[in-house]
Amino acid sequence: MYSMTQIVRTEWLKIKKYPAFWWVMGITALTYPGINYMFLNVYYDITQKRSGSGQIIQALLGNPFSFPEAWKTVGYFSSIFIFIPSIVIIMLITNEYTYKTNRQNIIDGWSRTNFMVAKLIDVLLLSLIVTGIYAVVAFVVGSINTTNLAAPRWSMAFYIGLFFLQLFSQLSLAFVVGFLIRKSFLALAVFVFYFFVEKISVLILSNKYHNEIGEFFPLEISHRLVPRPAFFGKFDEKAYQASLEAVQYHVGYATIVLIITWAFCFWINNRRDL
Amino acid sequence: MSVLTLQNISKSYGKIQALNNLSFEIPQGCVFGVLGPNGSGKTTLLSIILDVLKADSGSFLWFGQPGSPEQRKKIGSLLETPNFYHYLSAVNNLKITNSISGRGDYQGIDAVLQKVNLFERKDSRFSSYSLGMKQRLAIAAALLGDPKVLVLDEPTNGLDPVGIAEIRELIIELSKKGHTIIMASHLLDEVEKVCTHVAIIKKGSLLTTGAVEDVLADEDTIEISAADITALAAAMKDYGNNIKILPDGNFLQVSMPKGTARLEDVNNYCFSKGIVLNHLVFKKKRLEAKFFELTNN
């Protein structure tokens, strides 16, 4: 077995001087706090009205940006922008085909399995980095907005793991799109288009036809790992509780999809000509 | 000992048979030219031995062992086009080659870049290179770590005449050091200058293989001329069996079985027929002539 550290080192050599990687990381590092700051402002705009209604709403909603709820709320809003790191994943795999370096890596001494392990490491590495960004944003948002010092800060920190699983699942699907299509702009267009089409389809199916089949759509399976913030429960308690209970099942579904996704990629890569 | 042994390799792309039951051996320390017209299967063959393509049937052995990643790490290869990360510099691309193959080290990277005259531009992005510079970088990558076996697919592609001469010298130098070089090329003149062995393939089938002098020297050719070229041609028809006479301007190219062309005998024969020769030379057959002879059949 080729040394894992050698594979990680090689992938890092490819990534560390790739401008698109740092651009996307920069955009992610701005959009994740940005989207949460925006919703935070909306929340304060509503709850800090001098009239009594603000106080009533605050009492009704609680503060979704304080600990421990902040872990989930920030995860939910951040997941809107998962398609941003997806761009770099698609670029990293389609670059290999554009430059034919997927061939060169094999010629230079990797096995086809080594190559796919390297790509799996790329997706894992990016998932860890972006999860790190989310965790920092959630921690900062929670710390700033928690006035009750006795609040259990870490009781919902398991959402870091759920966010990671969601991210890893969705970036893996982005990887499959790039892996199969091979052309960067086409793959990006297909993935981003599908990302939004699936979201709209799930909403239409759920709201208009009351059909929950959308929860098994490829991206939605993992999207449901981080349910909506708690204040949604004030509008539909039953649906909110159901979404919380569904998380445990979606951990299983997402894991199965992940295993199938990567097994498929390894299988195809070992069979096809390069 | 054979560096590479091919055993009944076949490969097809749909209905097109790219390689058809190809078998031959490449001896250690030789410069082996794989020749063939465009589309004959040269690159397909090199792709199979480097595991980029999978053969439909047949097998190959590197140093008597089935091909493996560990063996590929020891082989410096340039296949079809220079394949590098466009956003990285020459040095950073070669660091990747080094990281995957384990060949060479960071000092060795500078050394190979100097060898291919790319050192001055070593920190420029690959995307800013000319075609010739890209090819030089690919050759540098193949040379990294001084591998004992090199596989070079059209190594002089995109190079200017000076570059072509430099690569020729490099191949001769490596050969003298005992390296084995397997190169595919359609530049027959270049191949003839550097190769010790050749395999000629056409439409995926092997036409001939062996040491260059054996492949070329299957017959003797002499070039003759006289004042009356028509009378000379008529006279030479009766010189012996298995003679081929080809007019070539004011000369005749006369081919006869290997070892039978003796210039004194030809001169005597013509004189006895009343023809005085004004030109008589023994012609070494060119690889180009042999190539056309084989591939046009």
pLDDT of residue B217: 67
Q: Is the Cβ–Cβ distance between B144 and B109 less than 8 Å?
A: yes
Q: Is B269 in the same domain as B187?
A: no
The letter for the amino acid at A80 is I
Q: Does B175 touch chain A (CB under 8 A)?
A: no
Residue numbers of A between 139 and 178 with CB closer than 8 Å to B: none
Confidence band of B220 (pLDDT split at 50, 70, 90): confident
Q: Is B169 in the same domain as B71?
A: yes
Rounded percentage of chain B residues whose pLDDT exceeds 90:
56
Question: B50 to chain A: which residues are within 8 Å by CB?
Answer: 106-107
Question: B145 to chain A: which residues are within 8 Å by CB?
Answer: none
Which residues form the domain of B257?
218-295
Rg (alpha carbons) of chain A, rounded to whole number: 21
- The residue assigned the tokens 């959402």 is A159
Q: Is B26 in the same domain as B46?
A: yes
- Does B99 sit within 8 Å of A110, measured CB to CB? no
Q: Is the Cβ–Cβ distance between B101 and B70 less than 8 Å?
A: no
Q: Is B82 in the same domain as B198?
A: yes
pLDDT of residue A59: 67
- The string of pLDDT tens digits covering residues B137-164 is 999 999 999 999 999 998 888 888 888 8
Give A196's DSSP letter: H
CATH code of the domain in which B242 resides = 3.30.70.980
Q: Which residue of B has its CA nearest to A20?
A: B87
Please enumerate in sequence order all residues whose Cβ is within 8 A of that of B69, keeping only pairs 6 or more positions apart, or say none: A2, A106, A109, A110, A111, A114, B51
- The string of pLDDT tens digits covering residues B5-61 is 999 999 999 888 999 999 999 999 999 999 888 888 999 999 999 999 999 999 999
pLDDT at B219 over 80: no
Q: Report, as an integer, the average pLDDT of B60-69.
A: 92
- The string of pLDDT tens digits covering residues A161-217 is 999 999 999 999 999 999 999 999 999 999 999 988 998 998 898 888 877 788 889
Question: Pick from B215, B239, B254: which residue ends a domain?
Answer: B215
Question: B150 to chain A: which residues are within 8 Å by CB?
Answer: none
Question: B48 to chain A: which residues are within 8 Å by CB?
Answer: none
ipTM attached to this prediction: 0.87
Q: Is B83 in the same domain as B50?
A: yes
Q: Is B211 in the same domain as B78?
A: yes
Q: Is B189 in the same domain as B74?
A: yes
Alpha helix positions (H), A216-236: 218-223, 232-235
Partner-chain residue, chosen from A6, A18, A101, that has the shortest CB–CB distance to B83? A101
Q: Is B177 in the same domain as B287?
A: no
Q: Does A106 touch chain B (CB under 8 A)?
A: yes
Q: Is B63 in the same domain as B75?
A: yes
Q: E strand or H helix at B17, and its extent?
A: strand B16-27
Q: Is B156 in the same domain as B108?
A: yes
Q: Is the Cβ–Cβ distance between B125 and B51 less than 8 Å?
A: no
pLDDT of residue B279: 93
Question: A94 to chain B: which residues are within 8 Å by CB?
Answer: none
pLDDT of residue B297: 53
- The string of pLDDT tens digits covering residues A135-169 is 999 999 998 888 877 878 888 889 999 999 999 99
Long-range Cβ contact pairs of A181-184 (< 8 A, separation 24 or more)? A181/A94, A182/A94, A182/A97, A182/A98, A183/A94, A183/A97, A183/A98, A184/A90, A184/A91, A184/A94, A184/A95, A184/A98
pLDDT of residue A246: 84
pLDDT at B199 over 60: yes
- Does A13 sit within 8 Å of B96, measured CB to CB? yes
Q: Which residue of A has its CA nearest to B69?
A: A109
Q: Is B224 in the same domain as B208?
A: no
- The string of pLDDT tens digits covering residues A220-256 is 888 888 888 877 666 777 877 888 888 899 899 999 9
CATH code of the domain in which B97 resides = 3.40.50.300
Average pLDDT, chain A: 88
Could you tell me which residues are beta bridge partners of residue B75?
A: B149
Q: Does A111 touch chain B (CB under 8 A)?
A: yes
- Does A19 sit within 8 Å of B100, measured CB to CB? no
Confidence band of A1 (pLDDT split at 50, 70, 90): low
Q: Does B51 touch chain A (CB under 8 A)?
A: yes
Distance between CA atoms of B31 and B5, rounded to whole angstroms?
Answer: 15
For residue A262, which of A173, A165, A191 has the smallest C-alpha distance?
Answer: A173
- Does B50 sit within 8 Å of A17, measured CB to CB? no
Which structure tokens are listed for B201? 């393939």
Q: Does A110 touch chain B (CB under 8 A)?
A: yes
- Does A108 sit within 8 Å of B100, measured CB to CB? yes
Confidence band of A51 (pLDDT split at 50, 70, 90): low
- Does A109 sit within 8 Å of B52, measured CB to CB? no
Cα A179 from chain centre: 19
A123–chain B nearest CA distance, Å: 19
pLDDT of residue B91: 97
For residue B7, which of B61, B52, B53, B75 has the smallest C-alpha distance?
Answer: B61
pLDDT at B75 over 60: yes
Question: Pick from B156, B182, B215: which residue ends a domain?
Answer: B215
Q: Is B101 in the same domain as B178?
A: yes
Q: Is the Cβ–Cβ distance between A20 and A76 less than 8 Å?
A: no
pTM (2 d.p.)? 0.84
Q: Report how many domains make up chain B.
A: 2
Q: Does A107 touch chain B (CB under 8 A)?
A: yes
